[in-house]
Amino acid sequence: MPIFEYQCASCGKEFEVLVRNSSPAPACPACSGSELRKKLSAFAAITGSASAQAELPSACQSCGNPGGPGACAFGPN
């Protein structure tokens, strides 16, 4: 399920929406406007053989968080 970014033409609010195949057309959460502009979003994906060669951060040594050192609130022991 992709997440799309929109900007409301009425009030200018920017927001994200998780879109499913059966989802109704989104409305602005600030003003309920329906005139929305889909923004160009940047994304990153590692697929195929490149994913096996990608350098991922090592797990945090204090809590095991896969985000790597400094990814959690726990400091070094």
pLDDT at 77 over 50: no
The pTM of the full predicted model, rounded to 2 decimals, is 0.51
Burial class (CB in 10 A: 0-12, 13-18, 19+), 60: middle
pLDDT at 12 over 80: yes
Q: What is the pLDDT of residue 21?
A: 79
What mean pLDDT is reported for the chain?
A: 75
Sheet holding 14-18, edge to edge: 14-18, 3-8, 36-38
pLDDT at 8 over 90: yes
